[in-house]
Structure 1
Amino acid sequence: MLGHSFSRRDNSVLGRWWWTVDRWSLGVLVMIMVVGVLLSFAASPPVADRLGLGGFFFVKRHMIMIIPALAVMLASSLLMPRNIRRLAVLVYIAGLGLMVATILTGAEVKGARRWISLGSFTLQASEFVKPVLAVISAWMMAEKLRNPTFPGLSLSFFFMFMYVFLLILQPDFGMTIVTVATWGCQLFIAGIPLFWMVLVAGIGFIGAVGAYLLLPHVTRRVDQFLDPTSGDPKHDLYQITQSLEAFKHGGIFGRGPGEGIVKKHIPDAHADFVFAVAGEEFGIIVCLLIVGLFGFVVIRSYLRVVNEQSLFVMLATAGIAFQFGMQSLVNMASTLHIIPTKGMTMPFVSYGGSSMLALGLGMGIVLALTRKRYGVIDHL
């Protein structure tokens, strides 16, 4: 439809955007959002009823948040690389400031301080820092390789460490893992010396051991994953047990829309365990299609920059696409009990306003960086 609205000779901002943006990735991202709305209708009404909020409370809020998320994604996809870097610095500084404020004044929920109230809106600032950190790290690494005297790796490590330090204070171990893994992925693609790769592995190992020894909820989840009999099946293992039952009952084709049982029992059916609702009501085939949509976006993003001349564009795109894929993978793997349970949303599908907006920003940046350039777009 938009293709008929803009001719190839249209030199307006939107005209140039339409003929240079990766419309396949854009279309699949919109499809994932549509899947999110459908699963919100399936999963959230029982949760809302239990909380006395009215059956479609979360459905309405989910649909409302899609509008600004789409707006943020489309607006950021119009940016040039130079403006993306500027935006990343501003969001990083503001995000770290809000994370500090969250730790000091935020409400404690399930033993963590991750959200801060801004009027009627509850914000998780760490979600917004995650994609822009990948941009800043890519910038620093690219400058280091362009100018060997520039301390790009040290600066990249410093920016990553500041963010991870605040994540640990919240604590948010899952996002810490995603962040360090993303940084390691970018280092690997950049061809950084072995020392830095060993440093990443060391940080990851020390962080994992430290979290297991110092954070009781991490200890409990890992112990339960390794030995299911170590926890209370009526409390500690309740959600994952229900989740696995949902996939078992759903089978290949599912019980049918609205026929699921798991959403009536799992408190986070509309958020962390929405994949279980999909498995029970729509079956394995639909679940595999959902996996395919996420896989398409990640692979497509990498293919768009595989021959990219700008190292910054390649590293930033690879970092954010890696985050997108890893976040979806962690959510699905947790739901299937392949890894210890971790409260991480499925991108654009799970309920969560901050996550939705931050993902819109991140994937908008990917769409901007993977636009066709014809050698004229500023990389500086």
Structure 2
Amino acid sequence: MMAVSRSDTSTLGRWWWSVDRWTLAALLSLVAIGYVMMLSASPAVAERIGASSRHMFLARQVLYSAIAVAVMIACSLCTPRWVLRLALLGALGALVLTAATLVIGVEIKGARRWLPIPGLSLQPSEFLKPCLAVACGWLLAEGKRSRRFPGLIIACGLIAIVALLLKQQPDIGMLAVIVMVFLAQVFVSGINLFWVMVAGLAVPIFGVLAYMFQPHVRSRVQRFLDPEAGDNFQIRMSLEAFGNGGLLGRGPGEGRVKDVLPDAHADFVFPVVGEEFGLVVCLVILAIFAFVVINGLVRLRNERDPYVTLAASGLLTQFGLQAFINMGSSLHLIPTKGMTLPFVSYGGSSVIALALGMGFLLALTRRRTGRTEETTPFTTGGGRLPAMT
């Protein structure tokens, strides 16, 4: 950790002594682990697809991660007010670009989720996740502050629009994550218990509907319940890799699963970790993710501003849920879903969007002293947002 004097009143000095340095260190450690795994897993994948260079994915990930760290640090310097402004602009832009994928998007494996950009296939829906979490947190908080402001209704309408777009792509997994994060925020906001039970009943109903009317969802669930119902090659190889790794692993670069798994550098990077570094390192990675979530929630215990609490809770839920889905899929605990392991898997849109969300989280959970209330352009009724000093 760098040394900064407590008497330093510069922007950097005030940021250093107010930011959650433990969470920052945990996130940077995940980025470092991602570098190591790209060095180990990506050359085999690059050779298999006939890439021009064995280190193509590694070089790209170094660039993506550098951009991600810069984005995370820059966003963590923001005040809660600026976090909201950036999130609202980001949500609007990502919503427009997500709609654009249905018209000019690149189709991969039957889904239109990406926009062709030189050097990068942009997936706008990745940026919807952190921006929506902040925007919905603010809407719910404003609804609590002023009964005249229909924050919950507006938030539900926004989620419904996103649901229609993601269904058309289709990306049911992304939709499930966004809906679950929103439901977690609604629960934290203190909604009536009756509506909690209604939501609890609605989730399995929507799951059944997705199973009935979305063939790829039905296929994944059937293959999860009955391994003989279809092609489970990646899951079989994944479980075999964990078994081969044992407690301490076969050693860096000695794994074999990366030679056969198509997504060994991306969605299935966790089995590569298990085979080469063993159960111990897998548990360390799991502990880092758990620490980020639990430490963030503990830090929110004394937070009195509902906007900060709800927005940060949504970001933490999203981060932990994405990690669980990736690791749970690799271990065959849940049906497979193509979702990256935060900061460890290869990905451009994913790692930058995650950095944006974690930057928002670090900004919202910074220690704020001498808090004053100032009216913002976004408040309604008696609602106000805190200004940092």
**Normalised TM-score (structure 2):** 0.94
Q: Secondary structure at the match of 2:77?
A: coil
Q: Once structures 1 and 2 are overlaid, which stretch shifts more, 361-370 or 47-56?
A: 47-56
Provide the secondary structure at the position in 1 that maps to 2:303.
Answer: coil
Q: Which residue of 2 aligns with 1:308?
A: 303
Q: CA deviation at 1:149?
A: 2.0
Task: Name the residue aligned to 1:100.
Answer: 99
**% of aligned pairs identical?**
50
Q: Distance in 2 between matches of 1:341 and 1:359?
A: 21
| Counterpart position of 1:147 | 146
Q: CA deviation at 1:376?
A: 2.4
Match of 1:339, SS? coil
The aligned counterpart of 2:121 is: 122
2:2 corresponds to which residue? 2
CA distance in 2, matches of 1:65, 1:201: 38
* Distance in 2 between residues matched to 1:22 and 1:189, nearest whole Å: 22
Taking the TM superposition and a 5 Å limit, the aligned residue runs for 1:15-26 are 15-26=13-24
Q: Does 1:270 align with 2:265?
A: yes
Quick one: structure 1 residues 239 and 377, their matched pair in 2 at CA, closer, same or farther if it must change by over 3 Å? farther
Q: Deviations over 1:58-100 (max 9, x none)?
A: 1111111111101110010011111111111111111010001
Aligned-partner Cα distance in 1 for 2:39–2:105: 30
Return the offset for 1:201: 3.1
Listed as ranges, the gaps of 5+ residues in structure 2 are 374-384
CA 1:330–1:377: 2 relative to 1, 3 Å: farther
Letter in 2 for 1:11: T
Following superposition of structure 1 onto structure 2, how do residues 317-328 of structure 1 map, counting pairs within 5 Å?
317-328=312-323
For these two proteins, the number of residue pairs brought into alignment is 374
2:186 equivalent to 1:166: no
In the alignment, which residue of structure 2 is the partner of 1:14?
A: 12
Instruction: Give, in angstroms, the shift of residue 9 of structure 1.
Output: 1.8
Question: Paired residue for 1:56?
Answer: 55
Distance in 1, matches of 2:273 and 2:372, equals 42
Q: Pick which of 277-286 and 159-168 moved more.
A: 159-168
Supply the distance in 2 between the matched residues of 1:268 and 1:375 (Cα, whole angstroms): 49
Q: Give the drift of 1:131.
A: 0.6
Residue 203 of structure 1 and its aligned partner are, at CA, apart by 4.2
State the Cα distance separating 1:206 from its structure 2 match.
3.4
Instruction: Tell me, in whole angstroms, the C-alpha distance in 2 between the residues paired with 1:56 and 1:118.
Output: 21
Report deviation, 1:348.
Answer: 0.4
**Aligned pair 1:254/2:252, yes or no?**
no
Match of 2:365 in 1: 370
- 1:177–1:204 CA contact under 8 A, matched in 2: no
- What is the root-mean-square deviation of aligned Cα atoms in Å? 1.3
| Cα distance, 1:377–1:284 mapped onto 2, change above 3 Å | farther
Aligned partner of residue 114 in structure 1, secondary structure: strand
| Aligned equivalent of 1:36 | 34
Paired residue secondary structure (1:2): coil
Q: CA deviation at 1:313?
A: 0.5
Partner-residue secondary structure (3-state), 2:29: helix
Q: Which moved more, 1:215-224 or 1:25-34?
A: 215-224
Aligned match of 2:68: 69
- Tell me the CA shift for residue 2 of structure 1: 2.5
Q: What CA distance in whole angstroms lies between the structure 2 residues aligned with 1:24 and 1:344?
A: 26
**Aligned residue type for 2:347:** G
Quote the Cα distance in structure 2 between the aligned partners of 1:126 and 1:279.
Answer: 30
| Residue 375 of structure 1: how far off its partner (Å) | 3.6
How far is the alpha carbon of 1:215 from its aligned partner? 1.5
| Aligned partner of residue 299 in structure 2, secondary structure | helix
Distance (Å, rounded) in 2 between the aligned partners of 1:196 and 1:45: 50
Q: Do the aligned partners of 1:44 and 1:59 also contact (CA within 8 Å) in 2? A: yes
Q: Which residue of 1 aligns with 2:87?
A: 88
Deviation string 1:173-216 (CA, Å, 9 cap, x unpaired) is 11111111111111111111235424533542333122211221
Distance 2:222 2:160 in 1: 28
Greater alpha carbon shift after TM alignment, 359-368 vs 173-182: 173-182
- Contact 1:187–1:196 (CA under 8 A) maintained in structure 2: no
8 Å CA contact 1:42, 1:257 repeated in 2:
yes
Of stretches 126-135 and 209-218 in structure 1, the one that deviates more from structure 2 is 209-218
1:37–1:59 Cα contact (<8 Å) kept:
yes
Task: Give the Cα–Cα distance (whole angstroms) in 1 for the partners of residues 153 and 208 of structure 2.
Answer: 24
User: Could you tell me which residue of structure 2 aligns to residue 289 of structure 1?
Assistant: 284
Structure 1 residue identity aligned to 2:219: R
